Amino acid sequence: MNYSRRQFLKFSSYAMTGIALAACSPSSPAPEAASQAEAAAGGEAEAQPAAERISMVYHSWTAEPEGNGEKIGVANFAEANPDIDIEHRVTPFDDYWKALLTDAGIGEPPDAYLMNNFNWQLYIDAGMGIDLLPSAAILDTPGTNVDDYIPSVLEGCKREGKLYGFPKAINGSAFIINKSMFDEKGVALPPDDADWTYADFEEAAAAMTDEEAKIFGCEVTTGHAWIPTFLFTLGGRYLDPDEHRYAEGWLNSEANAEWVNWIKKLTDSGLKPSPGGLDAFGGMTGGMLGGNIAITHTDGFQQVAQAVREDTPYEWSGARTPIPAADVELKPHIALHGVMVPQGVKDVLKAVELAGYVTYGATTDMDRPSKMSTRKDFAEKQALTDYPHFRALYDQVFANNVQLHEGALITHVDILGEEWNQMIERVLLDGMDTMESLNVAAENYDKRVAEKEA
């Protein structure tokens, strides 16, 4: 059952009143206690059964290194609550979502669990989230003080004024620059603290492309997950801005076509591999770590953390998402991971406390972090001192015009992803006209959603 802040405080006051009355009551035993004492006078009192231990579960998909901070948070919660048995359950990403709903369906949801940007709305609508603010307001435990988080990030976790998750990590569209390769070729690095244009991007990518050495100048992820910065900058989006339900007129806009045509230009010129072109190098991440890509699109620099841990021979820098022209304003987006508490947990207050501990561990783990912290103090330390490649992302998150990733507002993001990816492949692999392909995607999306909801 979910309680409002007023209800919770009311119930708390009842409990405290009971404690106070007990403390002020006469010291003579209650009738039941007296009879037990009299019975015990003739022999030993019966042994009382030990109190049953409480069991709680935190469920996640993240293994190390990304999940290291979560592991720290769970351990700290266990240390602070020695009377609770806490299980840190980890399920691989591909099986995670089914496992969550299965557990909830049989009445055994985890007490807290990890959520990603694209499933917020779906799981809130499915009853897998509660408002954390009432409990957070009366807790004084790590991770539950909402004032510690970056304001734009905290707002991204809210819906209709309710906070459905403590923000664990920040993603955002940015680029990883192979500094070692740039230095070796004598090519100037793009700025990490200023905008660069499509023309600047193309010039740098062309200078770094080496067909004989099997080096692509750039790779830009064409899936729906990481590109909203481009689309927002151009004035595009996926679905209607009011209900986030309809694709016609939005998915197939001229602004979206402009971005797809730029991707086609990069691909046709050989600066960017075509879909599947990096398979021989282990995909995008493999190509980056192996030195086969000079400029790599990223959603949060997790590849840099992986590279450091694998002791690769390269050093990386960061750069913002390029803009079409110098007079166009970059409209950055943020994508979030957060820790949620589902409806139906046995102890709401303890579940929120657990969510806070996990989030605190994840946001303060500075051992080569895979994503930027959501806390104001640690994000600043990462970007301006310890891990300069985060600078481009840090500036975006503190921008006045930051927007929440549109994927966090879309219920049928699975259908969107399928239609968007097929649209890109039709253009890049089959040679279909860009607007024609976008029209097909918009029509298919609206039709499939209507059928699914019917």
What pLDDT, in 10s, does the model give residues 305-314? 888 777 789 9
Q: Where are the domains of the chain?
A: 54-171+335-406, 174-333+408-453
Per residue in 52-110, pLDDT (tens digit) is 789 999 999 998 777 889 999 999 999 999 999 999 999 999 999 999 989 988 899 99
Report the chain's mean pLDDT, rounded to a whole number.
86
May I ask the CATH class of domain 174-333+408-453?
alpha beta
Global model pTM greater than 0.85 = no
Nearest partner of 259 among 233, 277, 293, judged by Cα: 233
Work out the average pLDDT over 359-368. Answer: 88
When pLDDT is cut at 50, 70 and 90, the band that residue 47 belongs to is low
Distance CA 432, CA 411 (A): 29
May I ask the CATH class of domain 54-171+335-406?
alpha beta
**What confidence score (pLDDT) does residue 40 get?**
40
The answer to which of 242-246, 345-349, 406-410 has the lowest mean pLDDT is 406-410
Task: Using the Cα atoms of residue 404, residue 410, residue 411 and residue 415 in order, give the sign of their dihedral.
Answer: negative
Per residue in 315-339, pLDDT (tens digit) is 999 999 999 999 998 888 887 789 9
CB contact set of 308 (below 8 Å; sequence gap of 6+): 368
Work out the average pLDDT over 19-42. Answer: 36
Bridge-based pairing of strands 174-178 and 216-219 is unpaired
* Equal CATH topology for 54-171+335-406 and 174-333+408-453: yes
**CA-to-CA dists, residue 280 to 164, 222, 290, angstroms:** 41, 18, 11
**CA-to-CA dists, residue 81 to 53, 156, 449, angstroms:** 11, 30, 46
Distance CA 378, CA 394 (A): 11
In 3-state terms, what secondary structure has residue 153? helix
Amino acid at 340: M
Task: Using the Cα atoms of residue 303, residue 304, residue 305 and residue 308 in order, give the sign of their dihedral.
Answer: positive
Nearest partner of 201 among 323, 111, 67, 41, judged by Cα: 323
Task: Using the Cα atoms of residue 396, residue 401, residue 407 and residue 409 in order, give the sign of their dihedral.
Answer: positive
